[in-house]
Chains A and B, each alone.
Chain A
Amino acid sequence: MEFLTWLRTQWDRAGAVGLALLGLVALLLGWLGASDSPHLAVQIPYFISGGLTGIFLVGSAAALWLSADMRDEWRELRRLRVLLEEERAERVQERSGSNGLGDAGERELTVGRTR
């Protein structure tokens, strides 16, 4: 059950593992097929279907795993941005309540500018 939950939440990483395994199988089958024949004309289809397709699948797996990592990073950054925005809104509200500066006072506090 836990494995199914993991599959559902981490489908991209599970897909990456599956694609990588498929790629390795393709490489192995291509090698087995090509090694059975001494003729180049017979070996080339195995090179394409096994070798190049294997590289294609392993590359796809790497890209899928990387995109899963990037999506996680994106989520974290989005969470941070939401928290910072909320805190900033609170600060503006506090300042407008305490000294009556409001938005104009907050705008003076721009990053990179000395007051």
Chain B
Amino acid sequence: MNARYALPAEPRDPYLGTGLWSRRDLLVLLVLYVGGAAGLVIAWYGSAAEADWRDNAKWLVTATGGLMLAGLGLLAWLVLGKLRITAAERAVRLGLLERRASKRDVAVTVVTDGLVTADGMRRYHRPTCLLMAGKQPVPFVPGRSALTACGVCEP
């Protein structure tokens, strides 16, 4: 296997540091999640000791608050991760665009004028057509082949 396409070394801890989430994110999650869980446990013990249902209202509120707190922690964890993934996706898209632009640049320098095609293509294109990106352009001579016009660049 080509070493170039081998997986890069995994970070020691994929969840933290060089991973998707930072230690600060983990701290936020733990504080909210553990706080919420503690609220649930306290509410459970508190409500079990009450004999009248009217006195249980405060424990119900405590339990609901704990649930919301834990949910908020989990939501923050997922949102922070999603934001970083979105940023990474943008970076990869930009990298791919740059790569394509670089290849198109090469094609334009090879054939700067006239219509072009490439081996295996059934249509002819303008040299700047996106569909020519990364392909080796061959000058198209009208009448000498049965190629049709590209529907994207409309030469």
> Residues on A close to B: CB < 8 A?
39-41, 44-45, 47-49, 52-53, 55-56, 59-60, 63, 66-67, 70-71, 73-75, 77-88, 91, 109-112, 115
Interface positions of B (Cβ within 8 A of A):
4-5, 7-8, 10, 14-15, 19-20, 33, 36-37, 40, 43-44, 47-48, 50-53, 56, 59-60, 63-64, 66-67, 70-71, 74, 77-78, 81-82, 84-85, 88-89, 91-92, 94-99, 101-102, 105
Q: Would you list the 9 A-B pairs with minimal beta carbon distance, nearest first?
A: A84-B95, A40-B53, A63-B74, A45-B48, A41-B53, A77-B88, A74-B20, A44-B56, A111-B97
Q: Would you give the shortest CB distance from B52 to chain A, in whole angstroms?
A: 6
CB pair B40–A67 under 8 Å, yes or no, is no
**Which chain B residues lie closer than 8 Å to A60 at the CB level?**
33, 70, 74
Kindly count the residue-residue contacts between A and B in the assembled complex, taking CB atoms under 8 Å apart.
113
Q: For B78, what are the chain A residues with a Cβ–Cβ distance below 8 Å?
A: 63, 66-67, 70
Q: Is the interface of B mostly helix, strand, loop or mixed?
A: helix
In Å, the complex CA distance between A70 and B71 comes to 18
Selected from B19, B43, B91, B101, the residue in CB contact (under 8 A) with A74 is B19
> Which one of A41, A73, A84, A111 contacts B101 once the chains associate, using CB atoms below 8 Å?
A111
